Amino acid sequence: MVRISLSVITKLISGKKDSVQIISTSAAYLLSSILTKMNRSDLPNLFENSLHIPKVAWKTGTSYGRRDGWSIGYNKRYTVGVWIGNFDGKGIPELTGADMATPLLFQVFNSIDYNGTGNWYQPGADLDLRYVCPQSGCVPGERCTEKVIDYFLPGMSSTATCTHLTAYAVDQQETISYCTACLPEEGSQQKIYENPPAEILKFYRENNVPVKIPPPHNPLCTRLFEGSKPRILSLMEGQEYLIEKEDPRSLELSCAVAADVTTVSWFINDNFYKTAKAGDKYFFSPVEGKIKISCTDDKGRNSDVSIQVVFY
Ligand SMILES: [Zn+2]
Ligand SMILES: [Zn+2]
């Protein structure tokens, strides 16, 4: 049996005078647009039935160890925060902000703002419109077939061209890919493959989204690989990690890697710790003090982060 405490805080924010602007109107507009585009559990399938449901931008969070979950939402009239957890801090396996706090957030919004004005924020004058590739949000490249119109901030938003489809040299069976250093004189062919960034590839794999990535690189190739280094996702450079002496928790090792990587090796303070499948999560028990974590992929590309561990 799970005992859950719930606290709901609502606050009318209009007319508040002591607020401080921390990001530009246009950046806030873009962020708010992104935060309204998630699937909403409370929306009926028929659009006519959803006309009176308040528009809300929201973001969820789940704490380490699933001790509590948050969901905070806002529109022009209200900001609502929902917190769910045990008051004694005990974690619950099924507790996430998205699954447990968000449905309550929308129940609150639907109670206090149903049939509201529906007024939404206006884009700032410095925002402009352009075509982007929907696969990446970047300026469409020569191979991108779809285009959608999207807002951008001239001089601020990235102008990178989309490379989500890239040509690779492969063998006839498409089991090996080649670079210019190891391309055989005959028997290869050019094929187009998807080329998602490491974090997106990780998401596709975890959610079983089919993605046509190039086959592994020629194992006989002697070239030193450039390109995407593994990115350590679970630990942040320069951050302090507080660990309870009474109930010490492990720290997670997880990373995102380039499409050509199968395994990674983890090192803690330059000592070998484990070789692991690239997509898997592992845990280690840290000692107090400064710790260097290194992740090396099977092409020899390496990333480090340094963290501080404090026991209390
Ligand atoms: Zn594209
Ligand atoms: Zn090669």
DSSP string, 273-298: EEEEETT--EEE-PPSEEEEEEEEET
**pLDDT of the residue at 119:** 86
Looking at domain 231-311, its CATH architecture is: Sandwich (2.60)
Closest ligand (CA of 223): 2
How high is the mean pLDDT of the chain?
A: 84
Q: Write the single-letter amino acid at 43.
A: L
Give yes or no for a contact between 183 and 189, defined as CB atoms under 8 angstroms apart.
no
Query: pTM for this one?
Result: 0.63
Q: Write the single-letter amino acid at 80.
A: V
Q: For 247, which DSSP code?
A: S
**pLDDT of the residue at 215:** 86
Q: Alpha carbon of 33 to those of 58, 59, 75, 294: distances in Å? A: 10, 12, 11, 37
Q: State residue 107 phi and psi, 5-degree precision.
A: -60, -40
**pLDDT of the residue at 1:** 35
Q: What is the pLDDT of residues 114-135, one digit of tens each?
A: 877 778 999 889 999 999 999 8
**pLDDT of the residue at 12:** 44
Q: What tokens appear for 19 in the block?
A: 């607020």
Q: If you measure from the C-alpha of residue 194 to the centroid of ligand 2, how many angstroms do you get, rounded to a whole number?
A: 19
Question: Model confidence at 51, in pLDDT bands (50, 70, 90)?
Answer: low
Closest ligand (CA of 197): 1
Give yes or no for a contact between 227 and 273, defined as CB atoms under 8 angstroms apart.
no
The C-alpha atoms of residue 174 and residue 76 are separated, in whole angstroms, by 54
Give me Rg for the CA atoms of the chain.
24
Closest ligand (CA of 138): 1
**pLDDT of the residue at 13:** 45
**What three-state secondary structure class fits 205?**
helix
The C-alpha atoms of residue 60 and residue 218 are separated, in whole angstroms, by 43
Q: If you measure from the C-alpha of residue 189 to the centroid of ligand 2, how many angstroms do you get, rounded to a whole number?
A: 14
Q: If you measure from the C-alpha of residue 225 to the centroid of ligand 2, how many angstroms do you get, rounded to a whole number?
A: 8
Q: Within 13 Å and on the Cβ side, how many CA atoms surround 226?
A: 3
Residues of the chain with CATH 2.60.40.10: 231-311
Higher-confidence residue of 245 and 199: namely 245
Give yes or no for a contact between 166 and 172, defined as CB atoms under 8 angstroms apart.
no
The C-alpha atoms of residue 190 and residue 17 are separated, in whole angstroms, by 62
pLDDT at 10 over 50: no
Q: Write the single-letter amino acid at 89.
A: G
Torsion of CA 9, 10, 15, 21, to 10 degrees: 50
